[in-house]
Structure 1
Amino acid sequence: MKKKTMIIIGIVVLLLIGIFFLPSLLGGKKEAKSNAKPVGEDLGIEYFEVPDIEQVYINGVVQPEQAEAFSKDTKMTSTPEIKVKNGDVVESGTELFTYEDKEITKEIEAQNNTLSKLATKKQNIYNKWNRAIDNFNKTKEEDRTTTGVAINEQHQAEIDSVDEEILFSNQTIADLSTNQFISTKAKFKGRVSIPEVKDENAPILRLTSDGLYVAGKVNEKDLLKIGLDQKANLSVVSSGTTVTGKISYIDDNPPEAKENQSDSNNTDGSMSTYNVKLSLDRLEGIKNGYHMQATINLGDNKPIEVPKKAIHDQDGKKYVLVNDFGSVIRRDVQIGEEKDGNTIINSGLESADRIIVSSKKPVKEGDLVGDDNTESDEVVAEVKE
């Protein structure tokens, strides 16, 4: 009986080994499609292809048209008295701050001491004059050695001399007073910025104009492709905010040439760059210091008309969804007029963008929808059986 039981157990073990290991021994690894759907399967996406045109890209930083930092002068022997507040927008000619020149203050104090002494001297002359008159009147006529007229003339001359000294001191004080407190005024309309940290290297305040522009660079290869007043589409790198503008300045000389660096020093084979300025048509959502990328479309600059249904709206911002090598990304756009079911896009698109117009199933930013330009249409997975 015991032997029969052991035989049965052995058969069961062999069956289990066969179930778990025999497929692997016979077939090894086997490829099978996973349960994941092919990327983009059954989405039925309709695209609008942006024409592939030549473009020049200019990276730059937003800067104020005018800016000035007011540092503490070595002549400042006192703490400046700031006359404006942080964030104030002031007109040209507005008094920004004043400071006292204490060396001049000392000179004024010295002149005031002189005036005090002269006033005492003048009073003493008057007292002496009065005593001389009294003595003259008490002296008998035959005993008088001088006349009353002579006494008056003598003391009047002394008074006149003191008055001249007083006049000179008062004039000196008036002249000194014009420079005792130095006033600094705004040279242009701008916004005041007062540093929170008051260290010795920090400026007293900064004044920046509300007008902004983009300071960028273009390499020598693209320099001859662009020109003044050429239209540009600009995008804020951090937020995607888009705006139109144009090239307002192109420097004919690279920064290296300005620094008297000869071409022979350029041994690494890199191209020279040239400074470019771009004006902005509007400043909403743009601040000093923002990094922006400008796109210059070369050619006829024909406006891009996108099907109206491809335009989405979120909190008043217009955008489109683009298939970017299989991933859905968002591009904020500035739109123009509508025309025959299409909408003119003023800025925000890039050459050869594949805009999603519609789809059978909803797609959103971040979705994977596959790239029709690649050979990968399915996701294949290896599983062990």
Structure 2
Amino acid sequence: MKKRTMVIVGIVVVLFIGIFVLPNLLGGKKEAKSNMKPAVEDFGIEYFEVPDIEQVYINGVVQPEQAEAFSKDTKMTSTPEIKVNNGDVVEPETELFTYEDKEITKEIEAQNNTLTKLATKKQNIYNKWNRAIDNYNKTKEEDRSTTGAAIDEQHQAEVDSVDEEILFSNQTIADLSTKQFISTKAKFKGRVSIPEVKDENAPVLRLTSDDLYVAGKVNEKDLMKISVDQQANLSVVSSGTTVKGKISYIDDNPPEAKANQSDSNNADGSMSTYNVKLSLDSLEGIKNGYHMQATINLGDNKPIEVPKKAIYDQEGKKYVLVNDFGSVIRRDIQVGEEKGENTVVNFGLESADRIIVSSKKKIKEGDLIEESNVESGEAAPAAKE
């Protein structure tokens, strides 16, 4: 009996272990495995370090030097007649569109009707004049009550009176014609843009100059570091297109709204900003409205020479791969002359960039790499995309 009891107890212990203990142990191992972070692979990278240069960054938007939107004249009941086409480049004083003043048109029509009546009246006077002469010639000399000269004088006076009225109507029409159509002309050379949607708020057309600049802002901390005519490297945020330029204007005063803020309103520690204009050396790949970032290198502007094998080409665009705090990112660059094993990079790089020159294993944009010391020795070139 005692032996039987011990067997039963042993079975219960085994079942308890199978049901409760083993699943927890196995589950714990799985959970531990799931919490393990993947190891970041060491690629054995050779770097080129860009010198640490103080830089000022200016974010801005591409704008035309001159622009004008022509709103509809609410006083006019007529639809403007556009004299140009969408996309046309027009010179100053080119007629863009005209309005017809309907009231003046009615007055001109009334004067034209008056002219028609006066012409008829004049013709009737001539007819009456001719009849009077015929009757005079048919009447015997002793029966004539007046002279031929008197007849001519009377009818000529009537014709002269009608001619005065005709002259007045013609002058009135000429004066009204100068006001019948109100013309709007271009004030500067620019490109015409005609809105496709003709709603109430849409302008008749827009005129924008083809010369573009970047309108940016700089904070008070960086204001004293920059100056007019200082060289700048600019990059289109969306496409990476790069272009050289320079600072063409710096406003000495912040916008009124910012300047009038009290210290209590600046409790968050924000700084005033100042408007800056940057000219562009080239407009290739640049359009009105593009967002751009300008980089101003302070101090030594000596060109940066980067090893040729660190520079890649994709459809004519040059770029390098950079270790950005453990992530591989791409920097589009503009290159200059070649100097032996190096190539001058005019712009596109940032201060203290760690450019990947070569690696033991293939590297591409988006890879995660270790922040380890630079390895020496022979290494295979980094993989091109």
Q: Give the TM-score normalised by the residue count of structure 1.
A: 0.85
Q: Answer yes or no: is 1:248 the counterpart of 2:239.
A: no
Distance 1:32 1:331 in 2: 37
State the match for 1:207 in structure 2: 207
| Residue in structure 2 matched with residue 381 of structure 1 by the alignment | none
Give CA deviations for 1:278-311 in whole Å, capped at 9, x if unaligned: 0111112221111111111110211111111111
- 1:337 maps to 337
Question: 290-299 vs 173-182, which deviates more?
Answer: 173-182
SS of residue matched to 1:105: helix
Structure ranking higher on relative contact order (CA contacts 8 Å, 6+ apart)? 1
1:112 to 1:30, Cα distance in 2 relative to 1, 3 A: closer
CA contact under 8 A between 1:68 and 1:207: conserved in structure 2? yes
Paired residue for 2:149?
149
Partner of 2:275: 275
Q: CA deviation at 1:111?
A: 1.0
Query: Kindly tell me: are residues 183 and 23 of structure 1, through their superposed partners in 2, closer, same or farther at Cα, counting changes over 3 Å?
Result: closer
What whole-Å deviation, never above 9, does each CA across 1:164-204 have from its counterpart, x for those lacking one?
22122112212322332233333333222111211111101
**Residue 316 (structure 1) shift:** 0.8
Post-superposition shift, 1:219?
A: 1.5
- The residue type paired with residue 39 of structure 2 is P
The CA distance in 2 between the partners of 1:227 and 1:40, in whole Å, is 46
Residue by residue, what CA displacement relative to the aligned partner does 1:16-54 show, whole Å, maximum 9, x if unpaired? 759x749959x999988999873241x111111111111
- Structure 2 counterpart of 1:234: 234
Over 3 Å counting, the alpha-carbon distance change for 1:17 and 1:297 in structure 2 is same
Distance 1:149 1:357 in 2: 115
Shift in CA distance, 21/342, structure 1 to aligned 2, threshold 3 Å: same
Runs of at least 5 residues in structure 2 that lack an aligned partner in the other structure: 374-385
**Distance change in 2, residues 1:96/1:301 (3 Å):** same
Change (3 A) 1:301 1:140: same
In structure 1, distance between residues paired with 2:345 and 2:53: 15
Q: Deviations over 1:326-349 (max 9, x none)?
A: 111111111111112111111211
Q: Give the match for residue 121 of structure 2.
A: 121
Q: Percent identity?
A: 81
Contact map agreement 2:60 2:217 (CA 8 A) in 1: yes
Aligned to 2:184: 184
**Counterpart residue number, 1:38:** 39
- 1:80-159 equivalence runs, <5 A: 80-159=80-159
Per-residue CA deviation, residues 181-232 of structure 1 (Å, 9 max, x unaligned), is 2333333332221112111111011111221110011112211111111011
Tell me what 1:378 maps to: none
Distance 1:288 1:113 in 2: 53
Per-residue CA shift, 1:29-83, capped at 9, x if unaligned?
Answer: 9988999873241x11111111111111111111011111111123432111222
Between the aligned partners of 1:347 and 1:135, the Cα distance in structure 2 is: 104
Cα separation, 1, equivalents of 2:205 and 2:23: 83
Structure 1 pair 266/244, CA: closer, same or farther in 2 (3 Å)? farther
Contact 1:86 1:194 in 2 (8 A): yes
Offset at 1:15?
A: 12
Gaps of 5+ in 1: 374-385
| Partners of 1:33 and 1:262 in 2: CA distance | 57
1:246 is paired with a residue of what secondary structure?
Answer: strand
2:381 maps to none
Alignment partner, residue 59 of structure 1: 59
* Secondary structure at the counterpart of residue 155 of structure 1: helix
Distance 1:182 1:22 in 2: 91
Residue correspondences, number: 368
In the alignment, what sits opposite 1:174? Answer: 174
Distance in 2 between the 1:164 and 1:228 partners?
A: 69
1:257-278: CA deviation from partner (whole Å, max 9, x where unpaired): xx79646477315322111100
| Corresponding residue of 1:286 | 286
> For residue 382 of structure 2, what is the aligned residue in structure 1?
none
Q: Distance in 2 between matches of 1:15 and 1:116?
A: 122
Distance 1:51 1:332 in 2: 18
1:201 is paired with a residue whose SS is coil
1:60 to 1:368, Cα distance in 2 relative to 1, 3 A: same
Pairwise CA RMSD of aligned residues? 3.3
2:24 and 2:64 mapped to 1: Cα distance?
A: 73
Counterpart of 2:357 in 1: which secondary structure? strand
1:364 alignment partner AA = K
| CA shift in 2, pair 1:23/1:175, >3 Å | closer
